[in-house]
Structure 1
């Protein structure tokens, strides 16, 4: 790995919270690891063991966790992880791709671009 890449990778923790996923069809955004709602990444508080026990995969996408317009959380999660009750169900749009966005200091969003780093 080159010196440049190593130094870029060191920036990840500094910019991670500024890169948000905007849900389109939900097929590209990681349910557990990407930042797509105020409570995410969900992996920060839902264990890999609980994810697996519930029948989800660590590779699950947001789209796979919504059924008939409702989250498919196990009922016991709503008590164990009460923050899940505050996450609005994402509206999936089949002909719209998920996109990355920068979260600006004023809370607004702008299109993701590496040049803005």
Structure 2
């Protein structure tokens, strides 16, 4: 399981490995790894990785810098987890943010760009998003971090 989780991290990190490049091109395509359905395509290893997503979610976080690789709704960048699971599919319509939007599409120097909404649940969601402090360095690339201890995350995943 540990080595399978390491493969998931390698896939999410955008590492330049022949395997990760092939999987991103032929299996992930334009989807989020977290949303891909198991259609029977790919090897047994690929299907095993898809089954391990609930466990991987406990360990993966994304640090947003320029927001060009982190999906607003479906990636694990906010402490609340995947925002699509909090808001539901209707949240994309109520806030006027496409499901495929990147964080950089919604966040600028002037702040967050949400459509105004009277729904209390949606207002509490965008208040939580606004309260989450993002790094002000917009020149750096986003990174994937891995939980090492209860509250400690780091860039390195060690199988030891």
Asked if 1:101 corresponds to 2:101, the answer is no
Higher strand content, 1 or 2: 1
Which residue pairs with 2:155 in the alignment? Answer: 111
Unaligned runs of 5+ in 2: 1-41
Work out the CA distance in 1 between the residues paired with 2:83 and 2:153: 21
Q: TM-score, normalised by structure 1?
A: 0.79
**What number of residue pairs does the alignment pair up?**
116
* 1:5–1:35 Cα change, 3 Å: same
- Scaled by the length of structure 2, the TM-score of the pair is 0.61
Which structure is higher in helix share? 2
SS of the residue corresponding to residue 58 of structure 2 reads helix
| Deviations 1:9-33, CA, capped at 9 Å, x for gaps | 2211111221111111011001001
Q: Which has the higher contact order (CA 8 A, sep 6+)?
A: 1
Equivalent residue, structure 1, for 2:70 = 29
Is the CA contact (8 Å cut-off) linking 1:100 and 1:112 kept in structure 2?
no
1: CA distance, partners of 2:116 / 2:142: 28
- Structure 1 stretches of 5 or more lacking a match? none
RMSD: 2.5
Shift of residue 97 of structure 1? Answer: 0.4
Deviates more, 1:92-101 or 1:74-83: 74-83
